[in-house]
Structure 1
Amino acid sequence: MKKYEELVKFIIKNIGGKNNILNVTHCVTRLRFQLKDESKANDEALKNNSGIITVMHSAGQYQVVIGNHVADVYSELVNEIGLKESQEPSQKKMKIKEKALDLISGIFMPSLSLLCACGMIKGLNIIFSFVGLYTQESDLYLLINAIGDCFFYFFPIVIGYNTAKKINMNPYTGMIIGAALCYPTINGVDLNFFGLNLNATYTSTVLPVIITCFLAAPIEKFLNKVLPSVIRSFMTPTIVLLVSVTVGFILIGPIVNAASQGISDALLAVYALSPVLAGILFATLWQVFVIFGVHITFIVLCMMNLSMGIPDPLLGSQVFVAFATSAVVLAIFIRTKNKELRSACIPAFISSIFGITEPALYGITITRPVMFAVSCIGSGISGAISGFLGFRYYQMAGIGLLEIPALLPTTNTGTVLLQVVICMIITFVITFVLAFVLYKENTQPSPSQPSPSIEETSKSYGEISSPIKGEVKPLSAAKDDAFATGALGKGCVIMPEEGKVYSPFDGTVLVMFPTGHAIGLVDDKGCEVLIHVGINTVQLGGKHFFPKVKIGEKVKKGQFLLEFDLEAIKEEGYDTDTIVVVSNSKDYSEVSLSKEGEIVPQDCLLTVKG
């Protein structure tokens, strides 16, 4: 039996069978399915399988998070369902935002691993020359640099192939469009077309070939319908290439290159206003981007910058997020007495060091808000240092430890490498100390204290009052599966009638997301409550949310915590159902809903028993 055959058969069975699969791709850690009917998928069964980290619904895709061996699982999956390279994927109805993310994933993700590999080769070549294995003037340096640089130089060919496949065009036509745009004798030279002087370069670019393929696709479709079959096979590509490449080179390319330059200049201008602040925000939010599967967008922006020869500062500020996450996991491993948790920490720590943070994120930190907050704080500190030192991506590379070569320029390599190592150590140590000090576990009473009676136990912990005015529903009614299944704690859903959130008890603010859409609180007895306003409202980036408190602030029961514009959020197209969960529900024998229907702040919402 093949290594992942059993796991693959289990996945297929629990996503509704082969016939429920419209399309499937994969990224660094996830299988990304488009299913005919997602209701046929058994989320709970998939999540409970030891070979699966978690399940996510994002960007119009059904995502099964596997880990860093996802490519092997994908290969076995493709064989099992009989998917062929030339197979035309079916499509499902998606919103515009979902279509955009799906398109980006389909174009860039298939080649991301090779892109990172070639970036690693370029980075290692710099390191090898720096330590004296050979000089940058040697022929060996030239050869290795060519191996690493060829992918970037001829990137339009790869992107042309991927784009054509994604939009159901002949992929080899897309590849030839990319090759034509890269042809050496017409790049970077003065040309004249019908009196129009033009000097354009398309090697290493991204957008010109994508837009040109979008022009070519309908032409190809039209010609395949109207041309006789006897000449269609060669006349269709002939006409498509002549029209699309000519228009693409003369008209589309210059416009798109100028637009790309404008986008890059705008991002760099924002970064230049305060590199430290930009680094803090980007690195702090990076794990949130990963959770919602939108981090690929920033990778694409980085590719655009690199294709224009501009080192990218945004990805340069998130390199050390993996080390913050691994530090939290190590601290938990040392502090916890839970054998099951300790055993989960070991592989999560190792994978985090090498940049695969999903096992730690979904399996350990996200269900422990304090630890998740600590990992975000540690990441923010690393982002501040990265911004201050001006770290930038000079080439694509691996992730985690293998991402370090991406930060190394061809000159001043030793100084930058030393700064990178120092930043890595500072991030790890500070985050580890914070996690070690703040980690709390449900402990037994000390021998010197009398154990509580059964009656006393059943009466503790107490009551949690409603933080919002609205209509209460069971947690199972939540439109976010991670909450509805209770994976993030037991609680309920409130359909808010006004945009105000109040404290459900006397306690401390543990988490205040930078986007303002979620607050984590803990009371003096250690009960942790997460209040999450809306579904996917993190994508608003803080718009329409107005926090009244900050992390670490002591609050009283009934204190005004957060204001949000209820109607404006609805107009943006987001669901405003608010989730209230006891995030450390496993520490209690029972967390039950006290009432359903209409409720006002200070009414009893949840009853918690020790």
Structure 2
Amino acid sequence: MADYSKLAKDIVEHVGGEENVNSLTHCITRLRFKLKDESKADTETLKNMQGVIKVMQAAGQYQVVIGSDVEDVYDQILLQTSIGDKNSSESVEAAHSTSGDKKGSVVEKITDLISGIFMPFMGAFTGAGLLKGFLVLFTTLSLLDKTSTTYTILYAASDGIFYFLPVFLAYCAAQKFGAKPFISMAIACAMCYPSMTGLFNDKEAVVTFFSIPVKLISYPSSVLPILITVYAQSKLEKGLMKVIPKIIQSIIIPLVDFVIVFPLALIAIGPVTDVVSRGLAGGIQAVFSFSPAIAGLVLGTLWPLFIVFGLHWGFLPIIMNNYSVLGYDYIMPPTFGANFGIAAACLAVFLKTRDKDLKLVSGSASISALIGGVTEPGIYGVLMKNKRIFICMCVVNGLSGIIAAVTGSIRTAQVPINVLTMPALYAMSGPAIIISMVVSFVGVFLVTYLFAYKNEEQTK
């Protein structure tokens, strides 16, 4: 068993100590520090530390790539330090006062914002998506009857987080924007309240708020309306705190939020973001319609690079918007082959290398990508050290992307991409998506094993 306690202690020490850390979060493979002064971090020592795959400075963050053990290391850091207290009390202003944020580009800040909002509940999200995918498979194969109560119970478990997605987003967005999170959640609950949904479904109903016309949209499963609403809430609350005596803030501010922010969301924010959402979905759909081959080639080829720089998070709101507006997503299927291509490249290196350390890293990275759908260990630990393998993998992934895009492959639920979920993906999209992933796996493996990886380079 790995010594997570020592690794956690060493990492904190070499990022400049606890006093140099403004906040800490983690994703599936990375510890994401916001440091007061990144120059105090000993990057070279961290890179060579056993248990650390790579160190990156991106999206206004100091990122330490750990791999699948990241949550254990994160938990140990919180146990050993008071960094967890900083996370809970950190305001948005403090979060954006670091040197990294000042230097960060707009793209980096947006990526940081998106990952910070979506990442905390991603485990529950993917678990529910996986269950939904298997329900599609079981009903397609007539193994489960849609009219049965068993299906009803399992479907509720799989669909609940999607239906009440605004509530989850509200809490996480409030943490990022500096709003009061439980008020944000209450506003999101009001958006999804049965009577509000009933008004939307009643096409004959005339909805007004003090004689102001209200154009209702469907808020369950929506993304943009609650994000903009929470941002507006945060601005209102900060203004109110300056003028309302502190002794009555806890009473007055929630009341004003409910009376002003929620109606504002229904009257203005919801309808405007609905137009933006549909325009965004329609615009991307038009690009795919114009040339699905080019769209698939670009996405499939560049996806590993997006992962390297953390830019893949920027696609998540678009994907969720597609689920809300269209009921399915067509952007991500061209990238599915990338997971299998990364796994195949690592497997080829594992079988061919004579270096014991590289064999250990490449073998575990291949399993991580193939079984868990986690690709960062393979990218950072194996492929980025050999540019020829990386480039060849990207080219083959591009061909896989063309197959998925040209055949119109879709995903109707947020299912993780690995060998275990292939039956569910088949049920959603048919044989074409399986073919595209097999092409990527077989193609990358053969190119890597026969041409791209030269064993003598490693021994040299």
> Normalising to structure 1: TM-score of the pair?
0.69
Are the equivalent residues in 2 in contact too, given 1:319–1:404 (CA < 8 A)?
no
**Equivalences for residues 144-159 of structure 1 within 5 A:** 144-159=154-169
Q: What residue in structure 2 maps to residue 214 of structure 1?
A: 231
Q: 2:265 aligns with which of 240, 244, 248?
A: 248
**Equivalences for residues 102-141 of structure 1 within 5 A:** 102-141=112-151
What is the DSSP-based 3-state SS (H/G/I as helix, E as strand, rest coil) of the residue aligned with 1:86? helix
What is the DSSP-based 3-state SS (H/G/I as helix, E as strand, rest coil) of the residue aligned with 1:346? helix
2:452 is the counterpart of 1:439: yes
What is the DSSP-based 3-state SS (H/G/I as helix, E as strand, rest coil) of the residue aligned with 1:55? strand
Write the distance in 2 (CA, Å) between the matches of 1:366 and 1:2: 25
| Deviation digits for residues 202-242 of structure 1 (CA, Å, limit 9, x no counterpart) | 11111111111111112212223322333221211111121
Q: What is the deviation of 1:162?
A: 0.6
2:415 is the counterpart of 1:381: no
Q: What residue in structure 1 maps to residue 319 of structure 2?
A: 302
**Equivalences for residues 27-106 of structure 1 within 5 A:** 27-82=27-82, 83-84=84-85, 86-89=88-91, 90-91=94-95, 92=98, 93-94=101-102, 95=104, 96-106=106-116
| Deviation digits for residues 121-169 of structure 1 (CA, Å, limit 9, x no counterpart) | 1111112223343212211111111111110111111111111111122
Matched AA of 2:118: F
Q: What residue in structure 2 maps to residue 274 of structure 1?
A: 291
Are the equivalent residues in 2 in contact too, given 1:120–1:405 (CA < 8 A)?
no
CA 1:215/1:439 → structure 2, altered by over 3 Å: closer, same or farther?
A: closer
What is the DSSP-based 3-state SS (H/G/I as helix, E as strand, rest coil) of the residue aligned with 1:278? helix
Matched AA of 1:200: I
Q: What residue in structure 2 maps to residue 569 of structure 1?
A: none
Matched AA of 1:51: G
Matched AA of 2:173: T
2:173 is the counterpart of 1:163: yes
Further displaced range: 158-167 or 105-114: 105-114
2:399 is the counterpart of 1:423: no
Q: What is the deviation of 1:170?
A: 1.3
Write the distance in 2 (CA, Å) between the matches of 1:242 and 1:29: 42
Are the equivalent residues in 2 in contact too, given 1:123–1:408 (CA < 8 A)?
no
Write the distance in 1 (CA, Å) between the matches of 2:306 and 2:424: 20
CA 1:431/1:587 → structure 2, altered by over 3 Å: closer, same or farther?
A: same
Are the equivalent residues in 2 in contact too, given 1:125–1:145 (CA < 8 A)?
yes
Write the distance in 2 (CA, Å) between the matches of 1:406 and 1:290: 24
Computing the radius of gyration from Cα coordinates, the structure with the larger value is 1
What is the DSSP-based 3-state SS (H/G/I as helix, E as strand, rest coil) of the residue aligned with 1:394? coil
Are the equivalent residues in 1 in contact too, given 2:343–2:365 (CA < 8 A)?
yes
Are the equivalent residues in 2 in contact too, given 1:332–1:439 (CA < 8 A)?
no
| Deviation digits for residues 79-102 of structure 1 (CA, Å, limit 9, x no counterpart) | 322213632253224343332222
Matched AA of 2:334: S
What is the DSSP-based 3-state SS (H/G/I as helix, E as strand, rest coil) of the residue aligned with 1:317? helix
CA 1:328/1:73 → structure 2, altered by over 3 Å: closer, same or farther?
A: same
Are the equivalent residues in 2 in contact too, given 1:370–1:438 (CA < 8 A)?
no
Are the equivalent residues in 1 in contact too, given 2:135–2:155 (CA < 8 A)?
yes
Matched AA of 1:326: A
Q: What is the deviation of 1:441?
A: 2.9
Q: What residue in structure 2 maps to residue 360 of structure 1?
A: 378
Matched AA of 1:7: L
Q: Relative CO higher for 1 or 2, CA cutoff 8 Å, sep ≥ 6? A: 2
Write the distance in 2 (CA, Å) between the matches of 1:197 and 1:42: 56
2:244 is the counterpart of 1:223: no
Write the distance in 2 (CA, Å) between the matches of 1:218 and 1:334: 56
Q: What is the deviation of 1:440?
A: 4.4
Write the distance in 2 (CA, Å) between the matches of 1:22 and 1:300: 27
Q: What is the deviation of 1:195?
A: 5.0
Q: What residue in structure 2 maps to residue 198 of structure 1?
A: 215
Further displaced range: 151-160 or 231-240: 231-240
Q: What is the deviation of 1:423?
A: 3.1
Are the equivalent residues in 1 in contact too, given 2:214–2:267 (CA < 8 A)?
no
Q: What residue in structure 2 maps to residue 6 of structure 1?
A: 6
Write the distance in 2 (CA, Å) between the matches of 1:98 and 1:418: 37
Write the distance in 1 (CA, Å) between the matches of 2:287 and 2:109: 27
Write the distance in 2 (CA, Å) between the matches of 1:316 and 1:425: 13
What is the DSSP-based 3-state SS (H/G/I as helix, E as strand, rest coil) of the residue aligned with 1:313? coil
What is the DSSP-based 3-state SS (H/G/I as helix, E as strand, rest coil) of the residue aligned with 1:332? helix
Write the distance in 2 (CA, Å) between the matches of 1:8 and 1:399: 29
Q: What is the deviation of 1:400?
A: 2.3
Write the distance in 2 (CA, Å) between the matches of 1:106 and 1:440: 37
Write the distance in 1 (CA, Å) between the matches of 2:222 and 2:192: 9
Matched AA of 1:49: M
Are the equivalent residues in 2 in contact too, given 1:396–1:406 (CA < 8 A)?
no
What is the DSSP-based 3-state SS (H/G/I as helix, E as strand, rest coil) of the residue aligned with 1:397? coil
Write the distance in 2 (CA, Å) between the matches of 1:205 and 1:408: 26
Q: What residue in structure 2 maps to residue 23 of structure 1?
A: 23
Write the distance in 2 (CA, Å) between the matches of 1:381 and 1:97: 28
Write the distance in 2 (CA, Å) between the matches of 1:423 and 1:64: 32
**Equivalences for residues 528-539 of structure 1 within 5 A:** none
Are the equivalent residues in 1 in contact too, given 2:215–2:266 (CA < 8 A)?
no
Unaligned runs of 5+ in 1: 444-583, 589-610
Matched AA of 1:347: S
Are the equivalent residues in 2 in contact too, given 1:156–1:204 (CA < 8 A)?
yes
2:349 is the counterpart of 1:332: yes
| Deviation digits for residues 489-515 of structure 1 (CA, Å, limit 9, x no counterpart) | xxxxxxxxxxxxxxxxxxxxxxxxxxx
Q: What residue in structure 2 maps to residue 579 of structure 1?
A: none
Write the distance in 2 (CA, Å) between the matches of 1:406 and 1:10: 42
Aligned pair count? 442
Write the distance in 1 (CA, Å) between the matches of 2:444 and 2:107: 35
Matched AA of 1:141: Y
* Coordinate RMSD, CA, aligned: 2.1
| Deviation digits for residues 573-604 of structure 1 (CA, Å, limit 9, x no counterpart) | xxxxxxxxxxx6x776xxxxxxxxxxxxxxxx
Judging by fraction of residues, say which structure has more helix.
2
Matched AA of 2:416: G
Judging by fraction of residues, say which structure has more strand.
1
Are the equivalent residues in 2 in contact too, given 1:129–1:141 (CA < 8 A)?
no
Q: What is the deviation of 1:296?
A: 0.3
| Deviation digits for residues 255-285 of structure 1 (CA, Å, limit 9, x no counterpart) | 0111111111101110111212211110110
